[in-house]
Structure 1
Amino acid sequence: MRSSVDVQDLAQETYLRLLRSRDLSDVRKPLAYLLQVASHVALEWGNRQARNAALGVVEAKDLIDEQLPELELDAGLTQQRIEQTLAACSPTMRAVLLLRLRDQRSCQEIANDLGISMRTVQRHLENGYARLRMAIEG
């Protein structure tokens, strides 16, 4: 892990997956089950990091780490701009953006979840990213 934030994110994702589990009453060894879920979360995270590195993708949190002092000054204003921008988006665009950015869903998964085409997902992401970029830059 590059930072304690990554560890906290993985712990939170593990917790959320446990919450989403239908019935844990059949689990005979809770600690082993927890470690197995955490292992899967960490493996997926590592695969995503490797894939992003291979594609040259720069994640938002990497940009934030590099510019942390400057961003701390106007974090509240930036958050407000982002929320206003998301509120102004169409419901579909907002759903696409949240599924991609918050839930780390692939374009194909988003298309399947929302019942729209991959091209529509990509178009919403392109337009949504442009709107968010403008909101962040002020």
Structure 2
Amino acid sequence: MRYARGIEQVYFKALGLITRTVGRVVPPDDVEDIVQETYVKACQVKNESDIRNPQAFLLKMARNLALDHIKRAEFRLASSMSGAAGETDYEPRSSGDLTHDTAAGDQEFALFCESIRQLPQQSRRAFVLKKVYGYSQKEIAIQLGVSESTVEKHIASGLLKSRQFMMKHASVAEFAKPSVRE
């Protein structure tokens, strides 16, 4: 029989707290994966004696893993939205300067993330579940406890409002960019 190490024992005692902590950051369907990833990472810890408060360590690790998950999801959302950029009047311009373009891309991504944060809560949740996590409208309707037509309206509204936000605020960002003469 294998005896659990100290950090593993703390993990199992704090499992409910870890699950709730992760659940505050990510959608319910992703909680279990992140909690399991936390366990795997905890098992990989070499020097447990260096950890002063194992429970706080595990909670911080779980929260960081959840935040990393959200960042990856936001990146996927931004990537999927770049395909939709041709559907709007907003087109980022290239200055020909790689450093500048990288910084401008980071600013545009931050602007996009802010546009999503500005959405009403239900629209934001429906939009993120659809565009980031790839849920179907039916799955989102069940998750949010609303009809599929309401989900469709939330997603359409979220897309429209985020585009308007981007276009409105991009004009300010464009002012700071050097113009490219062709």
After TM superposition, the score normalised by the length of structure 2 is 0.38
Bigger-Rg structure (1/2): 2
After TM superposition, the score normalised by the length of structure 1 is 0.48
